Amino acid sequence: MPTIVWTKIDEAPALASYSFLPIVEGFLDESGIDITTSDISLAGRILAQFPDRLSEDQKVADHLAELGELTASPDANIIKLPNISASIPQLKAAIAELQAQGYDLPDFPEKPSTDEDKETAARYATVLGSAVNPVLREGNSDRRAPAAVKAYAKAHPHRMGQWTGQVKARVTHMDHGDFFDHEESFISRGQDLDVVLIGSDGSETVLASGIKTADGEIVDATFMSVDALDEFYASSLAQAKEEDLLWSVHLKATMMKVSDPVLFGHAVRTFLADVFDKYGDDLNSVGVNPDLGLGDLYARLEKLPAERATAIKAAIDSAFAARPALAMVDSDNGITNLHAGNLVIIDASMPTVVRDSGCMWNADGKRQETLACIPDRSYATMYAAIMDDCREHGALDPATMGDVPNVGLMAQKAEEYGSHPTTFIIAHDGCVEVRCGDEVLTSQQVEAGDIWRMSRVRDVPVRDWVRLAVERARITNTPAVFWLDANRAHDARVIEKVKAYLREHDTEGLDIRILAPADAMKFTLARIRRGEDTISVTGNVLRDYLTDLFPILEIGTSAKMLSVVPLLAGGGLFETGAGGSAPKHVSQFVAEDYLRWDSLGEFCALGASLEHIDQTSEGTRAGVLAATLDKAIRAFLENDRSPARKLGQIDNRGSHYWLARYWATELAAQRDDAELADRFSDVATELAAREDQILEELNGVQGHPVDMGGYYHPDEELVAEAMRPSTTLNAIIEAL
Ligand SMILES: NC(=O)C1=CN([C@@H]2O[C@H](COP(=O)(O)OP(=O)(O)OC[C@H]3O[C@@H](n4cnc5c(N)ncnc54)[C@H](OP(=O)(O)O)[C@@H]3O)[C@@H](O)[C@H]2O)C=CC1
Ligand SMILES: O=C(O)CCC(=O)C(=O)O
Ligand SMILES: [Mg+2]
């Protein structure tokens, strides 16, 4: 029987599943479709690493590995909700929570020295950062706003900050010494590669060996000079100060778990340069590591003798006074951009800057224009281009603007997003060589601390990506732009392949272009300002960035996106939206039993998953279920049933009631499957008749704190109870 795997994850979407999944299970009962769950939450993944230390009833199987294997099967049908990509502070918090719940987990080794510590560190490393998506994404991505969602957004445009020529906010990036500058790229002939650091003293350190590459694979080698990076941060600090702009740093320290925490650490180190220079020994003595952010630094000060801690805090306060104002994440609680690397994530943070007229929050809880530091030029220039465009032409208008769907190169850990195992922080000055046997393929002069990395993209994914781009351009009759820069080494190789693979398709009458990111941005913006849709066809990083940027500008959030990954092996991975797991929503839920999470992404993913079953399996009711769900989603949007924003109105749970009701109504009304119509006619009637009572039960609980029994590993019963407070609704669903 076709089986949908629903992933169990973290934070707000995990809470939402406690309410929505029982409804889905009820609706799919007797449909010829099975639905199961798979625990790939951060807590579940941690526990799966330590079976040897857990009792039988505490053990959790390695569901992520199982799901990874499933992606290679044509039967795969996975609904993937967004999960936490944990920074080290988050990982440590999750470990502490599990320990407190009685799981005998080892502490996270800060500086592993013994063999045992190294073993533990290696196990935790598999859970760190973006550890789920690269395993499951065995296909390229097709992300777009469903037509009904786009139509709704145009009819009910969200708030958009104004832009004028006077706005000083802008993007600043490096102009030398970055990854862009140093990139070298070659096509593999299927060689096994070694990466070797040759010290200035002639010593050789093997950084990686026997890296298997496939024939036709693009291999890039590049590095970030941290001296140039520090200079860049220092000069941007001076600029922000002079122009009275907030200073903000936008990185992807969660996904880019090896390189970006270090880029972040240099920002912390530069911001507090005087403090680190003067008190370096004290800070070292308590294990301060700037990569972990100011939050961790403050916590460690507590371990110093009181008078040293006080002196250092005073020095930090003077540093803050001398520096430009720092962008805040939570001004009420004094949490800054530099508190932890996972707090400002570029794909989500930069769109809000554009939406909010170039502003972020300052320490007084007021909006202030920002200088957005995005060190590497490979991707910064397109953000600079959109801010320049808004300055010149004003804000974009969600009521009229065209749509920018994305076709993203993602499969098989493509490009930078698969580079973690081959990213190295260079220990000493020297030269990094990529070799095949004795043949030296690239050779780069580096200095201690530089961040060197090798990224790769296989040929099969590139070919499939070009195919998917042509398919989407044809189906929607929309121009498609490949965002590739002929002046970047990697992109130049990709361009050769794109040109070759485009010849495999009938592109007659299609408008397909290749433009550098900043030009692609200008071209796209000019079109969408005229209301014209334009497909962006991008590599893995821009896929991530643009599928938050345009949705947030067009429809107010990326949560409502349809995100389909046709797996190379024939199965389907259906991701929900492009947004994250909204930690802020959990705080609100805990404080006042109100969950703002919008499950529209889950609804759309379920629809796509059912359609996939209808197209690939016989003997199920998937077709009728998908068609009626689509209509239900339209009704849901037309009647504005997304979570409201005010206490006392419907939240996530209330929105699920409405979806269930519209879906039941559509099922009862359709003529293709009389048995189903019959089964759902009473349900539809009941749901309508009991509306007042159900909404009262759902909304009546709001306004009080909720005990979840844990953040990363909440108590299932407590949460299930909290998320299903309407006995009336539960009884109707259970009767299904
Ligand atoms: N695919 C995946 O698995 C992804 C996982 N992540 C992970 O999620 C965590 C948080 O990431 P971050 O990038 O800060 O994103 P957030 O989860 O904080 O989302 C950013 C903002 O988007 C809005 N938002 C997102 N989803 C919804 C929704 N369903 N309903 C309503 N509003 C929504 C909210 O904005 P507002 O308050 O302005 O309305 C939210 O504050 C990190 O651990 C990150 O790694 C991130 C992206 C994708
Ligand atoms: O895997 C992650 O860490 C984030 C992924 C993401 O942001 C995206 O795919 O949009
Ligand atoms: Mg993203």
Q: How confident is the model at residue 579 (pLDDT cuts 50, 70, 90)?
A: confident
Q: Residue with the nearest Cα to atom 8 of ligand 2?
A: 544
Q: Is 178 in the pocket of ligand 2 (CB under 6 A)?
A: no
Q: Record the tokens describing residue 470, joined without a space.
A: 């042509």
What are the pLDDT digits (tens) for 381-402? 999 999 999 999 999 999 999 9
What are the pLDDT digits (tens) for 9-34? 999 999 999 999 999 999 999 999 99
Q: Is 129 in the pocket of ligand 1 (CB under 6 A)?
A: no
What are the pLDDT digits (tens) for 339-353? 999 999 999 999 999
Number of Cβ within 10 Å of residue 426's Cβ equals 20
What are the pLDDT digits (tens) for 432-464? 999 999 999 999 999 999 999 999 999 999 999
What are the pLDDT digits (tens) for 599-624? 999 999 999 999 999 999 999 999 99
SS3 314: helix
Q: What average pLDDT does range 180-207 have in this prediction?
A: 97
51 pLDDT above the threshold of 90: yes
Ion ligand 3: residues, Cβ under 5 Å: 347, 544
pLDDT for residue 514: 98
What are the pLDDT digits (tens) for 689-713? 999 999 999 999 999 999 999 999 9
- 280-318 CB burial, b ≥16 within 10 A, e <16: eebbeeeebbbbbbbbbbbebbeebeeebbebbeebbee
pLDDT for residue 185: 98
Q: How confident is the model at residue 557 (pLDDT cuts 50, 70, 90)?
A: very high
Distance in angstroms (rounded) separating the CA atoms of residues 300 and 470: 54
Q: What average pLDDT does range 527-533 have in this prediction?
A: 98
Contacts of 675 (CB under 8 A, 6+ apart): none
pLDDT for residue 191: 96
Q: Is 89 in the pocket of ligand 1 (CB under 6 A)?
A: no
Phi/psi of residue 372, nearest 5 degrees: -95, 110
pLDDT for residue 67: 98
Q: Which ligand sits closest to the CA of 586?
A: 1
Q: Which ligand sits closest to the CA of 413?
A: 2
From the CA of 541, how far away is ligand 2's center (Å)? 9
What are the pLDDT digits (tens) for 325-335? 999 999 999 99
DSSP-derived letter for residue 185 is: E
pLDDT for residue 90: 95
pLDDT for residue 646: 86
Q: Is 85 in the pocket of ligand 2 (CB under 6 A)?
A: yes
Q: Is 176 in the pocket of ligand 1 (CB under 6 A)?
A: no
Q: Is 10 in the pocket of ligand 2 (CB under 6 A)?
A: no
Tell me how far the alpha carbon of residue 106 is from its chain's centroid.
28
> Mean pLDDT, the chain, as a whole number?
97
Helices (H), ranges, 363-407: 377-393
pLDDT for residue 727: 98
Q: Record the tokens describing residue 659, joined without a space.
A: 């979806």
Q: What is the pTM of this model?
A: 0.95
Q: Is 580 in the pocket of ligand 1 (CB under 6 A)?
A: yes
pLDDT for residue 577: 85
Mutation to probe ligand 2, out of 11, 64, 85 (largest number of atoms < 8 A from CB): 85
pLDDT for residue 414: 97
Q: Is 254 in the pocket of ligand 2 (CB under 6 A)?
A: yes
Q: Which residue has the tokens 């809880």?
A: 365
Q: Between 580 and 207, whose confidence is greater? A: 207
Q: What's the farthest any 2 CA atoms get from each other in the chain? A: 82
Mutation to probe ligand 1, out of 90, 561, 581, 588 (largest number of atoms < 8 A from CB): 581
Q: What average pLDDT does range 638-652 have in this prediction?
A: 93
578 pLDDT above the threshold of 90: no
Q: Record the tokens describing residue 104, joined without a space.
A: 């005998």
Q: What average pLDDT does range 500-509 have in this prediction?
A: 98
pLDDT for residue 645: 83
Residue type, 237: L
From the CA of 584, how far away is ligand 1's center (Å)? 9
Q: What average pLDDT does range 233-258 have in this prediction?
A: 97
Q: How confident is the model at residue 418 (pLDDT cuts 50, 70, 90)?
A: very high
Q: Is 480 in the pocket of ligand 2 (CB under 6 A)?
A: no
pLDDT for residue 669: 98
pLDDT for residue 397: 98
Q: How confident is the model at residue 114 (pLDDT cuts 50, 70, 90)?
A: very high
336 pLDDT above the threshold of 90: yes
Q: Residue with the nearest Cα to atom 46 of ligand 1?
A: 580
ipTM: 0.94
pLDDT for residue 500: 98
230 pLDDT above the threshold of 90: yes
Q: Is 160 in the pocket of ligand 1 (CB under 6 A)?
A: no
Burial class (CB in 10 A: 0-12, 13-18, 19+), 141: buried
**Which of these, 269, 204, 266, 224, lies nearest to 447 by C-alpha position?**
224
SS3 511: coil
From the CA of 458, how far away is ligand 2's center (Å)? 20
Q: What average pLDDT does range 673-677 have in this prediction?
A: 97
Ligand 2 atom with the shortest distance to the CA of 254: 3
Distance in angstroms (rounded) separating the CA atoms of residues 548 and 534: 16
